[in-house]
A and B are shown apart, each in its own frame.
Chain A
Amino acid sequence: MAKPTPTLYSIAKTFMWFAIISLLLLGSLVAIVLMDHSREWKVWQKKFVAIKTERAKKELAEAEAKVDKKQLATLAERLKQTQMERKSQRAEMAKTRKELEALEVRFAQAKTHYQDQKQFQDSYRYYFEEYSTHHDPRAKEFQKKFQTISPKVAAAKKEQDDAEKLRDEKAAQLEDFSAKEKEVKKEIEKLLAEKRLVQGKLDRVKPTLAKDILNAPMLDFLKPSLQVQQIVLEDLYDDYHFAKTQKVDRCTTCHQGIDQKGFEDMPQPFRTHPDLDLYLGSQSPHPVEKFGCTVCHSGSGHSVSFTDAAHTPSGPEEARQWKKKYGWHDLEKWEQKMLPLEHAQASCAKCHNDVVEVPQADHLNEGRRLAAKFGCFNCHKINGFEERWKVGPDLTHLSGKVDEDWITRWLHDPKAFRPSTQMPQIFHLSNHQDAADRERDNAAIAAITAYLVKNSEPITLMAAPIPGNPEEGEKLVKSLGCLGCHSVGDAKGDSFGPELSNLGSKVGADWLFTWIKDPKHYSSHTRMPNLRLSDPEAAHITAYLLSQRNESFEKTSIPEVMPEVVDSLILESFQGAMRAQEARAKLDQMNADERLEFLGKKSIAHQGCFTCHAIKGFEDQKPIGADLSNEGRKDIHQLDFGFVPIEHSREAFIEQKLKDPRIFDRGKIRSYYEKLRMPQFNFTDAEIESLTTFVLSLTEEQVPLQMRKRLDLKEERVEEGRLLVAQFNCNGCHTFDGKNGTLRELTEDPGAAPPVLDGEGAKVQEKWLHEFLRQPTVIRPWLTYRMPTFGLNEKDTQALVEYFANLSHEEASYKGHPVPETTPEKLAAGQTIFNQFQCVKCHQLDASSAAMGASFLAPDLSLTKKRLKPNWVKAWIQNPEALQAGTMMPSFFVDGQTPLTEILGGDAQAQIEAIRDYLYHENGVAKA
């Protein structure tokens, strides 16, 4: 017996372990396959397939219902009949078929025979030609062969053709037997066509076993029905820190219905995108194949999971829901998260550059408008917005306008004087609340006041020659058109210019009189135009505006300023630049007044007052605010959230900054001059939202030129004009270019309101418009509103003329429009028609007609020659409503017919031209 092998440990136990671990390994392999295979997006695609199947089933049921059952039954009957007929002819069919077979055989034989013969013929011919060329004696032999075989070949061909013909005839005969049946079948198909179509759709869409197999792991490289959908965008790039890659948007993997009509009421992610005519549709300006999704919505386009695509919840509530339902978490490491839906318009600016307003981007446009209004562009450098005007009034002659105390009180709290002011609160904000900082703020205010007063250049003022009557003044203010820019007391007008209440507490009578007589005398760059007021008018308005005072503001106490505080602030400002002893020395050289003025200059430089206001000594200073040109893509880590417990996202930062700019200093220890400086504007929540959209739109992302909306020359002119219109508030009075005039809306009687300027470029001559803008003249004397003189420079005036011309798709030309050629006969006819139509009933100017009320008067026709374009006048007479909807000018040529059938042969066009010529010709209405 062999010695038993020694054992170290029990093998049986090891087998057991082996078995267990093998099973675990198998399990882990299955786990690998499953985890790789079960992807989030497949779930969504399956859901969408279910939805589409449902719909197709419904459509099928509808199509089924639509089928005319009776008709179908009749046709089925007929079909059966034809089939029976065919069956009864079975014998004949069989015979015919047999004959056809025989003919097929014959044809095949003939064909082979012919081909056979032909090749011999060709061969003989070749040899014959070869040999005869080389004078070989064998040529003769082949010639004979060739000649013998040629007729045989011809015969064979004939036989083949005949056989073919017979065969085809026989085949047609066979066809005939089933012809009728085929026809009936076709009619049945027609009846069921739609149903078949829908059935086909259903079959394609619905999940089947074959599809499930093809979607199985390992097999799904062949032809899966569930697959990742992607749009590769050749011309758009993702910018990953200087590495540019083509955008690949895989959003449509889950958002399967986004570009199809019909899913508007589905829950996300299947919902159709709003407004398919503007976005995503193949005919829209932003087709999905060329733009994808992330260029507008941001986010990680190439991810296919919900969290990794960087979806942004609309608020903490939705964030909670997402966490629960989808295991969502904030993607900290991804810089460009999806823009919240309310800020999606921020992406428009990437491609729509150099326009004043992006069409249909109302949030963005509102944000831009607010940014311009509150002077954001003055303090912050933003690429593309550097050339904007200063929004604050000119302070170079300030002591001629207001007294020192007023300035100090104003700086302490502007809203105490004028709650609707654009001027933000600069001092005593949330990071200057402790006693020491309050004192310093008081010192800074006093210092600024001292500086402004000391550096105010003298200005000559006029006094009103007569005492003004406040009631007269009130009437004038409400009727001259001041409300087109200002609100005054209880009269609500536009909020473009400052509200003119309580001016009695602010300015002196001489200053106000001088100002409204000629604003540019006091402030050369002011946007306020000249209303060409007469002295009495100006005196009355002055008296009215000064009649209101703000008593509580006047009584506000002015806090005392300690000289030590002034000194310490000056020394603190020297800290970085020189050593303490030198600073002290410099300070000791100045007396008290000099110190205050010095501190004032320092404070103005520190707070950036000069960015919005023109101040002497600060003409060339640069803006002090942060450069916001790339704020929309700024690194989150570069935003100083400080200790404020808000979400670390750009939107949250911007919103918080606009709500309380100084809050990020909370909890920090900083010296006075190191603290945050942005003033508090007290924006409403809606304003903050629009402004956030605007700030998020500021990026330096370079979209390739071919994908951007490039403006052609005409559009550029229009945008230049739009900027001027925004700068000077033309829409305060006039309705045009998609905006309603404030004053026009406020005036009940449209005839008494400022005219609508739509179509002005097609209407008036450029030369006239140019002159008019430089020096307005009266066109409609019954209007109380007065078009002011804006005093624009030549470049701006021309820009406006071109703007109007290009808005009406016309070329601006200063050449002038020649008087149209005409005949004496036409002129005479024109005069007759003019009298018959009684044009002067409305187009007249004497006193008696004034009693009819403003709406029944129309412009003086003697202006026509210089002012209106002849083509326009012709179109106008033909159909005024088409050129100016709602106009009071009636149509005399209704439906192209004239009521005067005897003149010029009743030809409406000729009559219109006649009237027009009469208006222009020097023997007519036009006075040379």
Chain B
Amino acid sequence: MRPKSLFSAALFSLLMTFAIGSAQAAVTGKALFEGAAPAAEKIKVDADPKCKMMHPAGLEASSVIVNSNGTLKNVFVYVKEGAQGKFETPKESVVFDQVGCEYKPKVFGIQVNQTLEILNSDDTLHNVHSLPTQSQGFNLGMPIKGMKLKKSFSKPEVMVKIKCEVHPWMAAYAGVLDHPFYSVTDDEGKFEIKNLPPGNYVLEAWHEKYGAQTQNMTVAEGEQETSFTFKP
């Protein structure tokens, strides 16, 4: 990029951060993992020849992913109590893909009535079977590579399991909320919840295998840091 535009972009984003950040707060942190990382199970994918072609050595079970820095990936952190007011349903969709015989992303958040765009990037029959208890579920067969379907959830629920009836190792989890204050820990175990109005909140961190933990927080203006620790 040209230096001039780079500079103005940086200045703009800085100003924007100040503009927004000055009125709101953000909560960042890490999901730490104590103890030894469990050995990842190997899953045979022989049943589906296409999957076998993509992963001849099989797949690693992805229910627990411990990052190299001792943090836990795919922890869903969100505001459990305290979010007040009505929040607009975002116009953007959340993209949910089936690629390499795995769901991507494995854990994600989505707002009530926000569109979930479901893709099949594999050349095999995939299935997306959601199992919510509060909203209407769906069970979609997606046999064609590249096909796209749109669905949404009508009521908040943490967490909705999504599984594939054709490939038993595939599982994903969706946290459906009626506000946008959520985040999923990444490869570094970091999460960030932005644009939080100051106030008292209860934060919860959920992991597929290690359960959920809550924390009470009083959020003032500016950035706050906190962390959750999971043990096996």
Q: Chain A residues in contact with chain B, CB under 8 A?
A: 836-838, 841-842, 848-849, 851-853, 855-856, 880-881, 887-892, 894, 899-900
Contact = CB atoms under 8 A, between A and B. Distances in A.
A885 to B, nearest CB: 9
A887 B143 CA distance: 18
A858 to B, nearest CB: 9
Contact of B141 (A849, A852, A855, A891): A891
A856 B125 CA distance: 13
B46 A848 contact: yes
Interface in B17-64: 44, 46-48
Interface string B122-149: 0011011100000001111111100101
B209 to A, nearest CB: 18
A851 B139 contact: no
B165 A890 contact: yes
B151 to A, nearest CB: 8
Contact of A852 (B125, B137, B138, B168): B168
B10 interface: no
Contacts of B141: 837, 890-892
Given A853-B168, A880-B139, A900-B144, 13 more contacts: A837-B125, A841-B125, A842-B165, A848-B47, A851-B44, A852-B47, A855-B165, A856-B165, A888-B139, A890-B128, A890-B141, A891-B141, A892-B141
B168 A888 contact: no
A881 B132 CA distance: 14
Nearest to B144: A899
Contacts of A837: 125, 141, 143
A890 B124 contact: no
B165 A881 contact: no
Contacts of A848: 46-47
A68 B141 CA distance: 57
Nearest to A880: B139
A853 B170 CA distance: 13
Contacts of A855: 165, 168
A880 B127 CA distance: 14
A853 B167 CA distance: 10
B14 interface: no
B46 A890 contact: no
- Name the prevailing secondary structure of the B interface residues: loop
Contacts of B16: none
Interface string B145-167: 00101010000000000000110
Interface string B170-191: 0000000000000000000000
Nearest to B143: A837
Nearest to B124: A838
A831 to B, nearest CB: 14
A881 B46 contact: no
B143 A851 contact: no
A841 B48 contact: yes
A768 to B, nearest CB: 26
A301 to B, nearest CB: 46
25 contacts: A836-B143, A837-B125, A838-B125, A838-B143, A841-B48, A841-B125, A842-B166, A848-B46, A852-B47, A880-B139, A881-B138, A887-B139, A888-B129, A889-B165, A890-B127, A890-B139, A890-B140, A891-B138, A891-B139, A891-B140, A894-B140, A894-B151, A899-B142, A899-B144, A899-B147
Interface of B: 44, 46-48, 124-125, 127-129, 137-144, 147, 149, 151, 165-166, 168
B166 A841 contact: yes
A889 B128 CA distance: 11
Contacts of B142: 899
B44, B127, B142: residue with the most chain A Cβ atoms closer than 10 Å: B127
A889 B138 CA distance: 11
B129 A890 contact: yes
Contacts of A880: 139
A888 B47 contact: no
A851 B44 CA distance: 10
Contacts of B46: 848, 851
A623 B58 CA distance: 70
A322 B166 CA distance: 67
A532 B20 CA distance: 74
A891 B46 CA distance: 25
A856 B142 CA distance: 16
A900 B147 CA distance: 9
Contacts of B140: 890-892, 894
Contacts of A890: 127-129, 139-141, 165
A312 to B, nearest CB: 43
5 closest pairs, A vs B, by CB? Answer: A890-B141, A838-B125, A892-B141, A899-B147, A837-B143
Nearest to A879: B139
Contacts of B137: 881
A849 B47 contact: yes
A894 B149 contact: yes
Given A837-B125, A837-B141, A881-B138, A888 B149 contact: no
B115 to A, nearest CB: 13
A836 B166 contact: no
Nearest to A900: B144
Contacts of A881: 137-139
B143 A888 contact: no
A4 to B, nearest CB: 108
Nearest to B48: A841
B48, B137, B143: residue with the most chain A Cβ atoms closer than 10 Å: B143
Nearest to B147: A899
Nearest to A851: B47
Contacts of B129: 888, 890
A849 to B, nearest CB: 6
A903 to B, nearest CB: 11
Nearest to A887: B139
Nearest to B142: A899
A880 B140 CA distance: 10
A838, A842, A855: residue with the most chain B Cβ atoms closer than 10 Å: A838
Contacts of B44: 851
Contacts of B143: 836-838, 892, 899
Contact of A856 (B124, B128, B166): B166
A887 to B, nearest CB: 7
Nearest to A837: B143
A99 B141 CA distance: 88
A270 to B, nearest CB: 37
A852 B129 CA distance: 17
B165 A888 contact: yes
